[in-house]
Structure 1
């Protein structure tokens, strides 16, 4: 370790200095370039992990860099502090969720400060604080007034372990996103946000998000799932009703030979009632509705169905076609009922083959002899219509329009647009969440809580169990209220809001965290918004990011903000990964539970070193940041996380990489220590054109400034920026100091200039060390109040190379020439050199041989 590098003392010193001076607190400044930088705020789980360190280090480098570039940077931090894990922890640790949460916040806040992150802590918010969730309730009421919040009964995703409803986006592969247990379907009343009212705007708005990764935008497009087609009514035979289907291929209507309903369709069981099919239909519905919907609709899933006993009429062929129930149809898409065209849809084809249902070709390729008799699979492409009455021989694209016209003219159907997106169910039957501000009165019905009575405080005296239902139902002092309208007895809503509601507008509250008159102050929020750079995991592409976009548009329409999109640029960072160690008997093992011969210390059996995976406690491949801080310090931890991989890629943990980062930090200290007295002395600036001994180092400095600036600003390639800083440090280490007397002044200047620039460029990455060295050299003020270095393109482009000049194979001179000169210019320069002229005196030149950019060999004919 370098002599003066006591990283523990240095880091404590500068963290205290930044906090006491309010170094990172900002206010609105008209006329100054603003930059709102935000990382997704964390759930206060109790300890930060390496994923936090990496995520927040990425943001902190950018924040510090931009401040030095003259921006007014808003860089806040808060806590996503409501949610189910707090309830689980309260049960496990026999404590209250509020205490568990607040203790965790206090501990994690300390940890984040120890990392030296440049947050404006004066703006800190926690969504479990009444000061925050009051305005979440206020926004709920405004959405309720506009018809964007409503209550209905529906079939919902239910997690038996969490004992609560899950939104569709929170079901992953049929499992709860939180605990991985199977999700079942359950009929419950609940509150919804009408996100579908913004489906088209949410879809179109993605085109304007040029700073977002394409995979994220594609995930949102697919989730919104816009389809343009037609709704068509199929009358039920012998019944005074019809089934409505949605299709994007109305050109295949003449090929519809049966219908299929989703098991969840409201008419599915009713169609079979009183028929011999009723028992089998009931059993099928009971079984299939418990299955994972995504697995049911997978292309390789087995298609299953049951006949309802009912028939419908194809409105174009007027044929009677059977109505089936199938596991591959979902209630969320279209109307929950489909027309089956087995000739032109592979899924329908497989179902028809399995149950011997008729196939009639409706569309075939141009100039093809294909018909239903020789079909081996469905033809799903474009072509010409066959067996389609007056539309036969028409191009399928034209037929879609012509048949849509016919449907509307005859009153059979209509053009329509369908979305896969469904309204967002926000009701949760849990305690630790934002209370929904609604009161139920027998006389007045559903009554919103008046603004004057906000916030509806979440009571503290609650008995929390995992036995189902909201714990708030047992708190009489919370439930029993007077009706705000009539004054009569009433009861309060006991559902709380999905925690994603809290995170859908927190970025707005950061602009006005102490506003007592509303969720935001218009002037302040419109100064800072949108967020210029947002940083977080791609796992939130459809959950948080889509909800936040919806909330922003809805709040805009309330007149509170002036932006359409919340996040201008988005960086989705990769995960932090590490190899695993697994014993056949004892499962995953910690590194200290494995001996040097890779055997389990408990049983002695060989331990298999597994593949590199995301760090997780369950796989025992976690590195505790606390250990890293204690052994190497915050600056080393930051440097390793930023150097090991580009931000968008997964970072593979490497103990050698951490050691390498620490050695680099110590090398920087030694570069200052070795010439500290010289570096403290004033120097006279020397223009590049007048440099001799320091010319190459000066050029390297300018090249490094350019590279580091562009790597940070353009694509966040911090790893290559750090690599450039390492190269500059190596160049400094090789530079001869103090050097010959005639070059002493020049060498002092260029070394001082290079070290000072290196510290400025390194400061966003290793802020504590650079602050300390800056102060030690007497530069005055915080290094982050200094201006970011500039580079001179002329210095970079005026790079010169050394060309050796030989006469008859013997070196007689060396030329320093611009790298861009051609061979003719090199020849002329060699012959004009005074030394060469002297050697050539009295000799004839037979030829001149040039090795480009390297060598000139003048071949003579001897003395004249």
Structure 2
């Protein structure tokens, strides 16, 4: 008997598949399409980790399963290859990021091939190649032409360690998402994309994404952060009646305003404090706040700190003056950077007013309460109630007052109904070399000038200095200085490059037409495949990559380049791979190298373990013994299949003349049904594999004298069902069975519902709740027949002899409980 040697089998078939282009996307237009996609990797110097293996294994099972079920499958792969880590590596090693990244890209491709993944390598894209970023620039110009790309000066998130700007979404708890350094605020001229123009559509579209995890949809809803309320204008007399807009969801509390708070970064603050006694103190406070994280300023347990500017604002309805403060808990990034202080009805304002002795004015009373005493308040009242101390609006309910006061503000020209969003425009400028150049030049005569599309790509120069102190592109005179495309005079190139999330926000479209030299993709080719049927990756990309991709897709839809306006029909988020209870990381010393597992056990073992050890959407705790167990199971499959090679080759007739043969046939069809549903619909790969394991046990237990036809069929279909999970061993066995074509080109086995029906079932007989007997009856027996038959059996009669039957409980197909005394 041949031995199972993955080190020989796996390279052999990988070579055959590559030579035959076995995974090339079919052009058969008579088949339905299926676009399977896993999030592509960043080509760091560390190669693949087990999280990658799990991600790719899930996608590969789906791609192979759909192919065997008659679909024309698109299953591509690439590399998200721009970014700061490669640039940092270049600085550390004294090399250009291009050489470093391309080397790592090739390494990862080789590792992915060793896993046996069924990628169409002819469609491979690397986002750092001019062939790709040519069209990233093309798309930027499309956004610019449509008024969706613009440049402005503003306060941005700055990572001192990475020496670059970060979008709001890339700041996690006040820290850089890449290096965990503390992020500070800095004023810079930057490029933005108007994602806010699509806020409502991005929000509404979530309702249509019924095949996305609800937790991801909730995260995006929260990030978009739509709030409906009123914008109210307060005036500042000492600044020439300058209006300060304030957004609130509670206009019903307007008469309870006793002060105003501005964010320390608010542009009016310097004018308000100029020449005031505490000007220097507030200036120092402003500087300190620019270094603070959002969490350290707004957390529920953070102390509220503020300073009185000495200026006042005029209430829009009462005409009374209220003091203007600056405080840590108000952020310029949210709302208008100004809030109205209503301490009686906002917990945050209540704490602030109590600390600084500011007035507390009750304007809403709880139901049934006739008056309120502020000195008795222990906390702000925020629930439903009746308005008081609110002029002509007294006696109204909260809901009535919200509408009435908002309408009145519109009538007197001091505000009105409005909607705000937490979402801010997408900041895409990055001060680094290793990214897609922004195709813009600056001309003293013409101003901001886009590069004509026919002159793309703007390529990255080689004559740059990597010193870790500044943007390397500013050190290249050959890049910086050029001529204006409009007038021909001297001009300066934009030296910022694009956020790498731009690159990954459209790569799934490039896969549909990766060789196109004129367009990012031909609309007819994108429309043939889009939307992606199954997109697989980590939940950590819920707000960043997934939200940006949805935005870009909607813009391209509006530009009539694609028919869909959502990129991913179904999203599957896999759980993390842990070891010793913690996420694998080099710093913790708990990393398991996929290549080490492949060298020792083979890729099929690595694939099957990550699919079997836990539900695909749950955390997987690495277990060396579990890996060894999967390897032993594959050896069992190998030995069992080799023992029946000749039998399968002969294909004897299936007769099903006895209950033993019928039993194996039933188990086979049960397994086919379960694996089909669990793997193809529910993505419960662990239970699908478990079902195949039970079938293997059933085959091994089948008697030598049993029906040979059903045995041969069970062995052959067992190999077919294993094929998407472990492609190498099944390909070898399939050819050992005498087949010339690939197992992966064979149709998926079908099941017969009739074969699942039991002729007989075992009935458990309980007496007073204790199991005392078992009986085999026809599966079609009804309650009356079951009761009559059981009570007539001699053993049951003996067990209840001398007792009176009080009750008989019958559960058809399962049990009979006889209550007797």
Q: TM-score, normalised by structure 2?
A: 0.94
> What residue is the counterpart of 1:137 in the other structure?
137
Which secondary structure state, in structure 2, belongs to the residue aligned with residue 707 of structure 1?
A: helix
Aligned residue for 1:825?
A: 785
Cα distance between partner residues in 1 of 2:135 and 2:165: 23
In 2, Cα distance between the equivalents of 1:297 and 1:209? 32
Q: CA deviation at 1:262?
A: 0.5
Equivalent pair of 2:644/2:712 in contact (CA under 8 Å): no
The answer to whether the Cα contact below 8 Å between 1:33 and 1:71 also exists between their aligned partners in 2 is yes
Whether the 8 Å contact between 1:28 and 1:527 is mirrored in structure 2 is no
1:300 is matched with which residue?
301
**1:823 CA drift (Å):** 4.7
How far is the alpha carbon of 1:473 from its aligned partner? 1.1
Contact 2:238 2:311 in 1 (8 A): no
The residue aligned with 2:416 is: 414
Q: Does 1:758 align with 2:757?
A: no
Deviates more, 1:381-390 or 1:424-433: 381-390
Is the 2:786–2:810 contact (alpha carbons within 8 Å) kept by the matching residues of 1? no
User: 2:227 matched to which residue of 1?
Assistant: 227
Q: Hey, what does 1:363 align to over in structure 2? A: 364
- Distance in structure 1 (CA, Å) of the matches to 2:255 and 2:787: 83
Aligned position for 1:774: 734
Contact 1:629–1:637, Cα closer than 8 Å, also in 2: yes
Pairwise mapping of residues 65-84 of structure 1 onto structure 2 (< 5 A)?
A: 65-84=65-84
Query: Mind listing any 5+ residue stretches in structure 2 that lack a counterpart?
Result: 766-773, 795-804, 817-821
- C-alpha distance in structure 2 between counterparts of 1:407 and 1:851, whole Å: 72
What's 1:10 paired with?
9
Aligned residue runs from structure 1 range 95-244, under 5 A: 95-240=95-240, 241-244=242-245
Residues 446 and 486 of structure 2 are in contact (CA less than 8 Å); yes or no, is this contact kept in structure 1?
yes
| Deviations 1:294-335, CA, capped at 9 Å, x for gaps | 221111111000111100011122211000001000111111
Aligned residues: 796
Which of 437, 440, 447 is equivalent to 1:438? Answer: 440
CA contact (8 A) 1:28 1:524 kept: no
Query: Counterpart of 2:676?
Result: 709
1:779 CA displacement: 2.9
Looking at structure 2, the residues matched to 804 and 382 of structure 1 have their Cα atoms a distance apart, in angstroms, of 59
Contact preservation (8 Å) 1:712, 1:718: yes
- Aligned ranges for residues 355-434 of structure 1 at < 5 Å? 355-368=356-369, 369-434=371-436
How far residue 638 of structure 1 moved from its aligned partner, in angstroms, is: 0.5
Tell whether the 8 Å contact from 1:303 to 1:328 is kept in structure 2 after alignment. yes
Alignment-derived partner of residue 271 in structure 1:
272
Match of 1:555 in 2: 556
Aligned residue for 1:260, secondary structure, equals strand
3-state DSSP of counterpart to 2:660: coil
User: What pairs up with 1:267-666 in 2 under 5 angstroms?
Assistant: 267-368=268-369, 369-468=371-470, 470-579=471-580, 612-666=581-635
Matched, 1:39 2:6: no
What is the CA distance between 1:147 and its match in structure 2? 1.1
1:384–1:31 Cα change, 3 Å: farther
Q: Could you say which residue in structure 1 is the equivalent of 2:769?
A: none
SS at 1:719 equivalent = helix
CA distance in 1 between partners of 2:76 and 2:645 (Å): 37
The alpha-carbon deviation at position 211 of structure 1 amounts to 0.6
Q: Which runs of 5+ in 1 are unaligned?
A: 580-611, 806-813, 837-846, 857-864
Give RMSD over aligned pairs. 2.3
Mapped partners of 1:501, 1:257: distance in 2: 46
CA contact (8 A) 1:224 1:420 kept: yes
Q: Which residue of 1 aligns with 2:693?
A: 726
CA shift at 1:474, angstroms? 1.4
- Cα separation, 2, equivalents of 1:669 and 1:418: 63
Instruction: Look up the match of 2:770.
Output: none
CA distance in 1, matches of 2:281, 2:164: 31
Rounded Cα–Cα distance in structure 1 between residues aligned with 2:353 and 2:810: 77
Partners in 2 of 1:211 and 1:850 — Cα distance?
A: 43
Say whether 1:682 aligns with 2:651: yes
- Report the equivalent of 1:89: 89
SS of the residue 1:713 aligns to: helix
Question: What's the secondary structure of 1:10's corresponding residue?
Answer: helix
Cα offset, 1:45, TM superposition: 1.1
Which residue is 2:768 aligned to?
none
1:810 is aligned to: none
**What is the TM-score normalised by the length of structure 1?**
0.89
